[in-house]
Structure 1
């Protein structure tokens, strides 16, 4: 089968030309576009998550041969989490070629973090099925680039770190409250306040509640002692 010009351009951005282009089409097809004759990308996403995980686990081990498991695990988690996959997807403009149903198109599916992250994992699996593990591994290392070298020594997410800070001082876990919401329905922006029962609080804004909570937790951590 022949790919359209936009998919050929995506192959160039991705850095892989498919011998089996039907794999790429499947990787880019969201469940909202699936049908009895059109497979969606969910099974490929499942496989791609494992290919990504093995590649990143090996990469973080190789990059720091002396780091204990307690440091390796949060680094690994930071590199494979959905937010990071979505960042990589945006860098290669994956959203522009997603195959979405009408409902997802209307609600801004091409920009949704979850859809982009899932599709990125599916594309990784498609490359793996098309050309084998070493090609998929090389592609991941190239696309993730300096993230592997620059991931923070302690890459625990900010919410976990803030909860541990509070527990170490006998405080209850922090609370997260939505204090504002703006923007259109298909692209909302959330403001979240993180608060400790000692009165300390900080707010942050992001395009998803999860990201806003993480940003608020980090803002609060930055002003706390220790």
Structure 2
């Protein structure tokens, strides 16, 4: 019969090897590996190993949440100089929400590294969305403490920001904002919206709008309000411009 301390030592060795491979994969070497392991330590694990000097990741999660908010806000502020505060807020919320963080965590296989108590493990905690999102925030917090903001930004530039650049979150921006951003990025031209006509009785009016870029009409739209007509015109313009670049 094997002694418990030998089993614990072997399990500890396996965990250390996993964390070593994880750092090699990311190209990040923690100065304090205790911080790295803490980021992946769930409270259920700590509760079952009270005789060992473990800390859970809840405080790191708190810090990582704030670091993510700041770094993503700064990135969006620079990338989209013409977006309103409201659109920036919606876009940031889509990037740092639980489903997005879970996607990032799964791509990096964070679930394989999480240290869980037996009960949490048996109930599928390793793949629980809220847990994975928390671990991603905790990892960012640990990375910030270990190596500072510059390394956090490098990590996000490899994992998160490319998805923003590819338009993965553009669905949360309205069509006018998307068109403005596309034009700003590619042509630097001037967009102009114009209501071409109003039709129908006062209680049921319809509006026809067009949007032009440097005088060239890109799209027209018809809606029950000026705002709706402009949005539909911007949608048509987006479709036309994207077809040109395909």
Query: Does the TM-score normalized on the shorter chain lie above 0.5?
Result: yes
Deviations 1:132-159 (A, max 9, x none): 1111122122110322221215359xxx
Residue aligning to 1:7: 19
Unmatched segments (≥5 aa) in structure 2: 1-12, 175-246
Taking the aligned partners of 1:113 and 1:13, their CA distance within structure 2 comes to: 23
Unmatched segments (≥5 aa) in structure 1: 157-226
Residue aligning to 1:73: 89
Asked which structure has the greater RCO (Cα within 8 Å, sep 6+), the reply is: 1
Q: From the superposition, tell whether residues 48 and 7 of structure 1 become closer, same or farther in structure 2 (CA, over 3 Å).
A: same
Residue aligning to 1:93: 109
Deviations 1:154-173 (A, max 9, x none): 359xxxxxxxxxxxxxxxxx
The TM-score normalised by the length of structure 1 is 0.65
Residue aligning to 2:164: 148
Give the deviation of 1:108 after TM superposition: 1.1
Q: From the superposition, tell whether residues 70 and 64 of structure 1 become closer, same or farther in structure 2 (CA, over 3 Å).
A: same
1:22 aligns with 2:34: yes
Bigger helix share: 2
Q: From the superposition, tell whether residues 12 and 155 of structure 1 become closer, same or farther in structure 2 (CA, over 3 Å).
A: farther
1:53 aligns with 2:65: no
Taking the TM superposition and a 5 Å limit, the aligned residue runs for 1:107-146 are 107-146=123-162
Give the deviation of 1:32 after TM superposition: 0.3
Residue aligning to 2:201: none
Give the deviation of 1:86 after TM superposition: 1.0
The answer (yes or no) to whether the contact 1:78–1:155 under 8 Å persists in 2 is no
The answer (yes or no) to whether the contact 1:124–1:140 under 8 Å persists in 2 is no
The answer (yes or no) to whether the contact 1:89–1:120 under 8 Å persists in 2 is yes
Larger Rg over CA atoms: 2
* Aligned match for 1:64, one of 53, 63, 80: 80
Deviations 1:188-217 (A, max 9, x none): xxxxxxxxxxxxxxxxxxxxxxxxxxxxxx
Taking the aligned partners of 1:14 and 1:64, their CA distance within structure 2 comes to: 28
Q: 1:104 aligns to what SS in structure 2?
A: helix
Q: 1:84 aligns to what SS in structure 2?
A: helix
Write out the 4+ residue segments of structure 1 that deviate beyond 2 Å after TM superposition: 12-15, 153-156
